[in-house]
Structure formats: structure tokens, C-alpha cells
Structure 1
Amino acid sequence: MKTKQWLVALPLALALASITGCGMDDFGKSGVPSAGRSSIDDATTATKQVSSEILDLVGVKGDATEPGPRVSECGGDRDRETYYQMRHPWSLVPAPGQRLDGVMERLRDELPKHGWKIVQFERDNSRNQNFRLTADHDDRKFSVRVVHLAKNEPPQLSITIVSGCYQVLDGQRVDRY
């Protein structure tokens, strides 16, 4: 795995592992909580819904990247043909005249009103000191990480939605990664 991907994947895995409200029996050895049983299509729809809700809470018009949610392995000792999780990384570049000032504070304040628990809100250790926020939704078994790349040209938000670990429905198997 490339270093940059690893730097993104590790904090997201740790964020998911920090989701509370799950009994220890809900976790595999990977530390990712169980999200129950679901078809990949239904899990994709749920992930798109969470992404859409986050976009609404951002409250800034702009261009969001198009690639949709993708299936990934849960890791640990879980069978990759039976268990999977959803990841939806995307970014938002504000439309002309729109600014990202205050968006991280707005998310910090608004996400808890919608069932999210803020688990991290701080500047990172990068040269640019990007602001990052991580929040978990215990009931829905999703985690979101938002990074405000204020010094990018143009400034943008990098957003990643990650689900808990789903198990396929009886008679199905994970057939796409």
C-alpha cells in the first residue's frame, strides 16, 4: 500500500474502531464494528445517503467529486467473500463566491444534532496544519472524516465515509472489490 493511502486508511480504521455503543461481540479481530447483514446494493445506497447528509450539513455549494462508494475488505480474520465494508472518499471544491470559512466549526456543532459523536477535532501534523474532524454514528455504524485543505489551490474539503463491516445475505457473496 502506498504511504499516502496508508496515512488515510489507518486513521479511518482507528476512527471506526472507536465507535461506541457496540458490544465487544460486534467486533471482529479487525476492530471494525458489525453493521449487520446487507446486500451490497443496499449498503451502497446507505453510504450514498450518509454522504448526501454530510454534504447538506457542510452547507456550501460547489463541485463534489463523482466516484461513488466502493466495496472494501473488512480485514482481520473475516472471510472476504462474506464480509465487506463500504468506503466513499470524495472532495468538495466550493463554487465561485462560496467559502469554506467556518465550515469545520459548523460541522462540529451540527453533526451531534444528527446522531454523530465527534471523536477528533484538531489540526493535523502536516506542514499546512489542516483542520480535521472525525465523527462516528453509533446507530448507523458509519464514520466520517473531514479534512479542510485550506491552503490548497483552490481550498477544498476532503471527506471520507466508512461503514462498519457488513455480512452478505444468505446465498450471496462479495463479488466486487
Structure 2
Amino acid sequence: MKQTHGFRSRVAGLLGLLFLSGGCSLMPDDSEAASGGEARRTVKSIEDARVETREISSRVLDIVAVRGDVSEPGPGVDVCGDDPDSDVLYKMYHSWSVSGVARDVLEEGMGRARRDLPEEGWNIVEDGEKNNANRSPRILFEHDEVQYAINMTLFGSADDPLLSVSLVSGCFRTPEGETVKGQF
């Protein structure tokens, strides 16, 4: 199994779950460092993050290029594990799946993602199989610049396969005056 380390290598292990349960990407910030050494997050409005998450997810679907049944849920907002009671820290997630086509078609879609996503700045953090009875193929990607990670896993048998994709961001901070309350 190939493994490399990126900006959030700790995210890779957590992405085995449906989406991150904790870790946020942290970088020092002059103003916050002076006030006790807290870390800075990218400032982004929740609506901008929703649009960005939807666009990234759509691009991944375009690259996978499988014409099957795609699940409908859109991007969601979640708390950051570093400070789950914060009114200004949040992360985005978007989980979807493709089904209704043969397993080999879904495997080809994973192959396209493996080949094409790195050309768009995504690093392959892990490429192998899950430790489950079916040895489900899984690829974990992360993108340092946009601060997102992807868990792509092929589940099921030849009779009922499903390609699951979970896109998760690092922690973002809302602009001043915007709150996360009511956004979940």
C-alpha cells in the first residue's frame, strides 16, 4: 500500500470514517499568535464554502465519469473537532455514491480518479484496500491548496457494487459577523 504525507496526513486515517471527526489544518497567524498562540484557519463564508464544495465534488464526478445512479445529498456543514462549541469554526463535507452499474465500470472510474486527480493538485495519500472482508479498494486524496480531502471506496460484490465518495474540508473560520449557528 502506497503512503505519503501531506498537509493533513492525520486526516488520512480519519477519512476511513464517513468524514472527519476531528483534526483541522492549522497554521500560525500573527494576530492570534500574539493572543496566546492559537492557530489560524482560512476565513471563508459558509455560502462560499458550500459553492466550492459543490464544485469540487462535481469535478470529481466528472473525472470518475460513470453514468450510474448518483445519490442526491448536497454539501453539509459540521463542527470542527478542535473546538466543537465554536460559533465561527466549521468544516464542509459532501458524501455521495454511484451505483446501478457493473463493478468493472466503477473500477474504471476509480482508475480515472487515480490518474487524473493528481494532475489537478490532489495528492494520493493512500491507495490500497480497506481491511474488511471484501478488501474494498480505497483511495485517499488530499489537496493542500484548497484544504480538502477525498475518501473514494468501492463497496459491494459484483452483483451490487457501489462507489462511495466522501469529500471533507479542513476547518474554516467564518468572516467577522457570520456564525455557524443554524447552518448544520
Q: Do the two structures share a fold, i.e. TM-score over 0.5?
A: yes
**Is the radius of gyration larger for structure 1 or structure 2?**
2
- Say if 2:135 is the partner of 1:135: no
Asked if the contact 2:68/2:101 (under 8 Å) is kept, the reply is yes
**Equivalent position to 1:39, from 38, 41, 45:** 45
Partner of 1:100: 106
User: Percent identity, aligned pairs only?
Assistant: 34
Instruction: Look up the match of 2:28.
Output: 25
Give the partner amino acid of 1:110: D
TM-score norm. by structure 2 comes to 0.76
Q: Judging changes above 3 Å, is the alpha-carbon distance between structure 1 residues 8 and 78 closer, same or farther for their aligned structure 2 residues?
A: closer
| Distance of aligned partners of 1:23 and 1:83 in 2 relative to their CA distance in 1, 3 Å threshold | closer
Q: Aligned pair in 2 of structure 1 residues 133, 165: CA closer, same or farther (>3 Å)?
A: same
Name the CA shift for 1:71/1:34 in 2 (closer, same or farther; >3 Å): farther
- Give, as a single letter, the amino acid of the residue that structure 2 aligns with 1:60: V
SS in 1 for 2:145: coil
**Aligned residue identity for 1:70:** G
The correspondence for 1:50, drawn from 41, 56, 79, is 56
Consecutive unaligned residues of structure 1, counting only runs of 5 or more, are 1-5, 27-32
Instruction: Specify the code of the residue in structure 1 equivalent to 2:28.
Output: D
Corresponding residue number in structure 1 for 2:175 = 169
Rounded to whole Å, the distance in 2 between the matches of 1:83 and 1:110 is 32
1:124 is the counterpart of 2:127 = no
How many positions carry a matched residue from both structures?
Answer: 161
TM-score by length of 1: 0.78
1:110 Cα shift? Answer: 1.1
Code of the residue aligned with 2:125 in structure 1: it is V
| CA deviation string 1:67-121 (max 9, x = no partner) | 111110111136521100001111111458x822333222211111111000000
- Determine whether 1:8 maps to 2:17: yes
Question: Superposition RMSD on alpha carbons, in Å?
Answer: 2.9
C-alpha offsets along residues 43-79 of structure 1, whole Å, 9 cap, x if unaligned? 1110000100100110111121111111101111365
Letter in 2 for 1:67: P
User: 2:109, 2:88 → 1: CA distance?
Assistant: 38
